[in-house]
Structure 1
Amino acid sequence: MKFAAFSGVFIAHSIQEAMKLTQKLGMDGIEIAAREPHLSPTTSAPRIKGIKALAADLGLEIPVLAGYMGGFSTASDQECEQAFDDFNRLLDMGGELGSSMIRVAPGGPNAFLAHDYHYAKAAHWLNKCAEAAQEYQIKLVLEIHNQSLVETVDSSLKLLHLIEHDHVGMIHDAGNMYITETDYGRDSIVNLGKHLFHVHVKDEIRVAEVGAPGTFLNLTHRGEEGFLQSRLGEGAADHQPMFDALKEVGYNGWITLECHAPYPAYERLAHDFQIVKKMLSWEHA
């Protein structure tokens, strides 16, 4: 397994500073959040070349460009065309940066509120994205995410079965799945099978009130609920069964740490990285 930092954790820093902090953490790569000030569909070619050169100097890979475009299931046709154009620009950047995956958002609503037509429309545009990605040999990754069509393994597989390309797969995210109250342990890894392309790691916990730093509201099957972004081991999402399952199935892909707890960015990622290494029983943990 290889480890990356999510640049969105360092969004208060420039992308150059984020990359240097990632190397200081001892990680293998950085997953770049495709929004300013780090990178976006409007980023210029000289900036992309600068990011590529710095990554080479630091010995960092850029496995994923975490796109925010998509929302196909509920967007207008014009909005879908714009998202598709944005995706194509990210493809060019991903090819230049040596990225193997680009994240795309299928859209909402929550799976328990969605209809078949939501899945059909998302699949139509995701198929177009997949066709465009073929010549770059880049995979599309959809993040299992609360408040989306793909907030459980079952709803993820429902959408994937409508997609005609095998280079479209899922990002497992136990923190998001904790919010949804769906299984994120061994069965989730085993049932995703060949569709598991990538893993995100962060922790959360339910709270009675929001307003404090790190808290947010989310729509779940219970209604509006409050959550606190937490460091690993301080929230309620038990990642150990997931890590055990990754070892069991021989997962050798990327794991991105993206803790958004209300602590300094470097400190929270350093904390989570140590916890992850202990969970994986690394000798030097």
Structure 2
Amino acid sequence: MRFSVFTASTPDWTPEEAVRHLAGQGWDGIEWRVVDQDDAPEPGFWKGNRATWALTGLEAALPELAALTRGAGLEYSGIGGYARSFEHDDVARLLAATATLGAGRVRVTMPMLSTGRYPDLFDATRKDLEWATGLAARHGVTILVELHHETIVSSASAAMRLVDGLDPRHIGVIHDLGNLVIEGHEDHRAAFELLGPYLQHVHVKNVAWLPADTAPDGTVTWVHDWAPLRTGQAHVGRYLAALVAHGYDGWVTVEDFSTALPLEQRTADNLEYLRSLL
């Protein structure tokens, strides 16, 4: 396995700082966040993230992005795009940029459940992915569909329904350990076997469920929050062991949104921990 970091989880660093720190710590690769984001007074994971490349003007930034990445001796585990499946122009731009960089794969996001009736969303997205997979093939790259809570593909079973029959050389699934703690968990071994050739990428983070409120009748309301890799609900060691037993030997990308440790210490500790588990 090779380990990388998704820069959504490194908001304090500029791209120059991100590649310097990650290469210095011994990471194999980087997964760049690409999106037009809102500004914020302080850097945050989703707003004001300094390690994010804007989609607007991306083409002009590609030489700098490539020089930083390769100059640090890092590989691309993929491109963390945020273009939605129905935003065809943006999807096309990300596919072309991925091909130009030689990054291989790019994430395309799936519709949120709150945006329509599930059958309608599913049917429309299937058509979008048929179109996008064809374009990905022409570019020689692969689209990645992430298992993500509150979307139409929270589980491996749902993702398999969506991508089944499409060319696995040009579309695959991101199995995301942390997201599955929130919604969509299935036995990992069974999920890997179900996805078969569509299991093409892995994201690792962790989540804890915490009691938030207790009603007068004793009913407890629980909420989820990001947790360090060691302390969340998911057992990362067993997860990696299941991947190894399945024969997966691809990228494992960390997107740790916990804040118990300072960023530089957090990324270094995560790499040490993951390697110790193998």
Place the TM-score, normalised by the shorter chain, in its bin: 0.7 to 0.9
What SS is found at the alignment partner of 1:69? coil
**Shift of residue 12 of structure 1?**
2.6
1:164 aligned partner: 166
2:12 aligned partner: 12
Paired residues of 2:157 and 2:191 also in contact (CA < 8 A): no
Task: Measure, in 2, the Cα distance between the counterparts of 1:261 and 1:60.
Answer: 24
In structure 1, which of residues 71, 89, 93 is the aligned counterpart of residue 93 of structure 2?
89
Paired residues of 1:146 and 1:176 also in contact (CA < 8 A): yes
Gaps of 5+ in 1: 73-79, 211-223, 281-285
Quick check: 1:31 aligned with 2:31? yes
Quick check: 1:230 aligned with 2:227? yes
Paired residues of 1:169 and 1:197 also in contact (CA < 8 A): yes
Task: Measure, in 2, the Cα distance between the counterparts of 1:151 and 1:226.
Answer: 18
Quick check: 1:201 aligned with 2:204? yes
Note the 1:137-148 alignment, pairs <5 A.
137-148=140-151
Q: Aligned in 2, Cα 1:207/1:265: closer, same or farther, shift over 3 Å?
A: same
**Match for 1:58: what amino acid?**
A
- The CA deviation string for residues 20-64 of structure 1, in whole angstroms up to 9 with x for no partner, is 121122111100111255213213444210111122211111231
Task: Measure, in 2, the Cα distance between the counterparts of 1:43 and 1:268.
Answer: 31
Paired residues of 1:189 and 1:242 also in contact (CA < 8 A): no
Q: Aligned in 2, Cα 1:44/1:198: closer, same or farther, shift over 3 Å?
A: closer
Paired residues of 1:172 and 1:200 also in contact (CA < 8 A): yes
Task: Measure, in 2, the Cα distance between the counterparts of 1:28 and 1:251.
Answer: 17
In structure 2, which of residues 185, 189, 192 is the aligned counterpart of residue 189 of structure 1?
192
Note the 1:81-120 alignment, pairs <5 A.
83-109=87-113, 115-120=118-123
What SS is found at the alignment partner of 1:274? helix
**Shift of residue 136 of structure 1?**
1.7
2:136 aligned partner: 133
Task: Measure, in 1, the Cα distance between the counterparts of 2:268 and 2:177.
Answer: 19
**Shift of residue 120 of structure 1?**
0.8
Task: Measure, in 1, the Cα distance between the counterparts of 2:140 and 2:187.
Answer: 29
Identity percentage over the alignment? 26
Task: Measure, in 2, the Cα distance between the counterparts of 1:194 and 1:44.
Answer: 31
How many residues are aligned here? 255
Quick check: 1:264 aligned with 2:262? yes
Task: Measure, in 2, the Cα distance between the counterparts of 1:172 and 1:68.
Answer: 17
Paired residues of 1:186 and 1:241 also in contact (CA < 8 A): no
The alignment's TM-score, normalised by the length of structure 1, stands at 0.83
Quick check: 1:58 aligned with 2:60? no
Task: Measure, in 2, the Cα distance between the counterparts of 1:46 and 1:233.
Answer: 40
